Chains A and B, each alone.
Chain A
Amino acid sequence: MTDKTDDKSPPQPPPPQTAPPQTAPPQPAPPNLKWMGKTHQWGTRVKPGKHGLRLGDLNVGIYGEVPPVWTDQTRAPRGAVSRRGVPPLGYAIRDKVDLWADSAADMYEEAIQRRWAPAVDVPWSTVKPLPDDVERSICQVCTELSQYANADVESVTYWQSQMAYGYHEIKQFLATVSFDGARHMEVFRKRALCNGGGLGLEGPGEVNRMILESRGGWTEAVLYLFIVRGLFTQTMYRYLHRYAHNDAERTIFAHCLEDKARHLTYAIDHLRYAVNHQDDQNLILQQLCFIGERVLVRELKDVVLREALTIVFGNGISGAEQGGRIFRRMMSDYITRYLATLKWLGVERRTLFPEELSAYLKAS
């Protein structure tokens, strides 16, 4: 083996240059430009309004025509000229009734404008040492909430990829929902790891599994993800905001509450659209509620989250009696809102409502 630094041999001449070919260089083809005439509607001039140029403002002329079924199986943007011969992508969700919500474009804008960054928008310096039982409990709650947020991300992204591109407002809004989920995972993990504690015990995950394994369609997933689970999570955020131990937690739960409300708005809007445009959809949702509520009841039998919340609300094990009362009020508020939402959607829940859940209403 030769060490290159000791190589004393004279430099070798460069290899002879190959003579260039004598043929003339290829000439660029004359421009075709036929594509310039390929448009369904030219001369569109959307002007920004008082609040800027928003996604929904672009729905003018053919660009605003949202058909009840999206037959195109490619990624052709709505209003563009389809290219012939593009192999189909096999989108499974192509009926407007299966995903639509009129508010999606506005809420996409809202989600972007009202974004927040846990790294800098949460006053982390206000987190001070807490009693060990309280810290362990808030960490346990954050552990389970980060699992909820992960289920949001996984469920939304699974279904989003199956939605026809023609309903782009929905896909764009759902992109913000999965980003919100990622942000919530981040912020709960940060809270658990910033004050001498750490992550606790994994939650039972029965509702997560139900959401993630729901295969009856996006509408079914919306019911489980945003109504059965989402309203529960939102109610929990409200109480965790109320019983925050510092300004950091107060900020976290205030912002998470708003994010969750946006998801709920989409859910209410979509489910109402589905009920109003599809025969018996309210009966289908009712049947799904029977299943979902029982899975929720099974998950609630796990004592871990209940005990952790009780300690957080009661500010320690010594305040468990008071904390327990607050927990039961939280459950009562959740069920009240859940039933009111379903009633407004036209989904009847007077029959076969689980006793374990209605007991919270009676106790309040």
Chain B
Amino acid sequence: MAVFPSVQWFDAVRGVFNADESYQGGGGGACNALMGLKIAGQSFLVTFEGAECSAAVKVQDNDLAAADYILEMSYADWKEMIQNIATNGHADLHHTLNTLDLGRPEGLSHSMHGDQYREDLFFRYNQTMQYFFDASARVATEFME
């Protein structure tokens, strides 16, 4: 049982994601991006290189400046998304990254640099990022109290 969020949890999701070849076909595939995450006061950087998610590390807040884009929302919203994915095997239409980004005035995705080229990676690899979080359906998850 891995606690969300933690490096252990991201590593478990990476394991499922990297082992499932179905994520690489039909519009998936090569993806090169550094995704930042802010969850419950903790910061993480997740690296996608080619066909795999190669690393997940916990970092200081200011290290997120290196991220191409940062996903940030309240812990309650993160928890609801992960639980929804676990229930359905994947996010339903109310809990996709795209929906969550559209549904909040400040968006789900933002950056610290305003670089439109790098921010566009959130859309360029949107389905791959969705596959990544959908892979968490196969990870036994424990939530922080």
Contact = CB atoms under 8 A, between A and B. Distances in A.
A268 B117 contact: yes
Contact of B99 (A51, A115, A242, A345): A242
Interface of A: 50-51, 103, 106, 109-110, 113-117, 120-121, 234, 238-239, 241-244, 250-251, 254-255, 257-258, 260-262, 264-265, 268-269, 272, 329, 333, 340-341, 344-345
A345 B28 CA distance: 29
Contact of B127 (A110, A239, A255, A265): A255
Can you list the 5 inter-chain pairs with the closest CB atoms, starting with the nearest? A116-B27, A261-B123, A121-B26, A261-B124, A113-B30
B123 A258 contact: yes
Nearest to B24: A113
B107 to A, nearest CB: 9
Contacts of A268: 116-117, 120
A116 B26 contact: yes
A110 B116 contact: no
Interface of B: 25-30, 32, 49-51, 93, 96, 98-99, 102, 114-117, 120-121, 123-127, 130
7 contacts: A51-B49, A241-B96, A250-B93, A258-B124, A260-B123, A265-B124, A340-B114
Nearest to A262: B124
Contacts of B50: 50-51
A109 B30 contact: yes
A100 to B, nearest CB: 14
Contacts of B126: 254, 257-258, 261
Nearest to A255: B27
B27 A239 contact: no
B123 A257 contact: yes
A110 B30 contact: yes
Contacts of B99: 242
A54 to B, nearest CB: 9
What's the dominant secondary structure at chain A's contact region? Answer: helix
Contact of A269 (B28, B117, B125): B117
A109 B32 CA distance: 12
Contact of B27 (A115, A241, A260): A115
Contacts of B121: 261
A51 B127 CA distance: 20
Contacts of B130: 254
Given A110-B124, A340-B114, 11 more contacts: A50-B49, A106-B32, A114-B28, A115-B27, A254-B98, A254-B130, A258-B123, A258-B127, A265-B117, A340-B116, A341-B116
A184 to B, nearest CB: 13
A106 to B, nearest CB: 8
A269 B130 CA distance: 25
Contacts of A110: 29-30, 124
Contacts of A258: 27, 123-127
A324 to B, nearest CB: 16
A121 B120 CA distance: 24
A241 B98 contact: yes
Contacts of B96: 241-242
Nearest to B30: A113
Contacts of A241: 96, 98
B120 A261 contact: yes
Contacts of A106: 32
A136 B49 CA distance: 42
